[in-house]
Structure 1
Amino acid sequence: MFERFLDGKTAIVTGSNSGIGLGIAHRLARAGAEIVLNSITDRPEDHALAQNLAEEHGVNVRYVRADMSKASECRGLIEQVGRCDILVNNAGIQHVAPIPDFPSEKWDAIIAINLSSAFHTTAVALPMMRSAGWGRVVNIASAHGLTASAFKSAYVAAKHGIVGLTKVTALETAREHITCNAVCPGYVLTPLVEAQIPDTMKEYNMTRDEVIRNVMLERQPSKEFATVEQMGDTVVFLCSDAAAQITGTTISVDGGWTAL
């Protein structure tokens, strides 16, 4: 879909050793960007993942561990890399519970990882982008950044916050060759989601197709999952010249969820 127009650019993708983040990293690498993968673990397989990605796309790729719940490590990730042309704030966690029963430590962790981390990484990356004269910040929000669901108070609050942070970042960089946008996916078919399907089939005594259409995608009008490749291509588009005047907005990849 895209030529290698990102040659010479360095892209940092947080929370990228699986799922959406890894899918985005693949598409950015295919477009020519050098990639920094990140997660909280530091296993041989994490570094092997970076090596495989490099070999597949012919770009430099490295893996850098950082705990996105800690401000110092968020900032240290960007500082350690030393260059950031494209920042994709993707790291996130989830917990589901009614507000009176929602553990305070879970609230704090979700706000830290899903929202505060993006502030800290952006704060360090923007001066680098200004020095280079070009930059792209893409925040992976959610349909829950635009609407809400019961029992997801911390996640919904964090994702709404990401949308607000996106707008502020865009306004502060509006007269520079830097853009900031939020991508708002609905349900995306990741390995984690795929692993949930068999147990849900047993719980509801449904077929795979019934579970997907009537349970998992109940609120997604298309009744189809978005794919990690579609998420990656959306991010690559936002890094292209075609998107140079797209900033401070949200792009929904949700099968019509937020049109309801």
Structure 2
Amino acid sequence: MYRRGYVEQAQPVVYEQRSLADLWQRRMPIIAEDAGYDPNRDRARISSESNIKDGVNPLAFLVGPVVVKYGGEPAKCRVAEFAAYIPEDQRTVLSATGQLSWNYGQGLCTVNAPKAQGATGFLSKAGMVKLADVEIRSGNDYATVLAVAMDDKPLRESRQILVQVGTTERPMGWKTKPATLQGQPAEEVLSFGHAPWMIVDANLTVTLHNSKITSCQTLDANGQPVREIRLSGEAGSKSFQFPTGALYVILRD
């Protein structure tokens, strides 16, 4: 997916120029990933020469690339307009390409590109996750599902699609109990457990809007076929129940 560029990279959304003098004086950048950085508290520490006076929302890192030029002119910084990508009070972030989205209020992240689509997070709470060519309904509280074309074609036209699923993993004997942390629901770990690691079986249904797929097989950890899986649905779409004890499924024409 990454080597073939299935997910588009946006143009830089933040372009900062920092002078060497500002670096030697340890003045703050206009954006930082450190959670301890507060643009309001640290405003006075931003370069007085910068044309950006109030700092940049750290969520900009999710919107697109952040680029820094060292030995540059702070007055020539450029920052995109983020209102459409980081709407206030919605607790969501959308990438500049529109292919990646985060709903940190709901705990859901999706990728929705022509050749790769999927979701990760609290999927059962999210209900049906509908993407351009893939639909996911999960009985797992937390899981990751990703469908990727293996023939460099859009998923709707692909003749070979790999579907990968990951669920919660814990050491055997892992124990927790409900707790409260800073007034919020939490869990207290009672035992870290021991080897081997236990993986929760997948409990989800995947639907692909693709008229060319006719077969579906489980793959082992080495990518070798194990057994056939029943496909259902009409000519324009195919659905299957992801098999328990599996990590990968391949769909072919």
* Smaller-chain TM-score bracket: under 0.3
Higher relative contact order (CA 8 A, sep 6+): 1
TM-score, with normalisation over the residues of structure 2?
Answer: 0.27
Larger Rg: 2
TM-score, with normalisation over the residues of structure 1?
Answer: 0.26
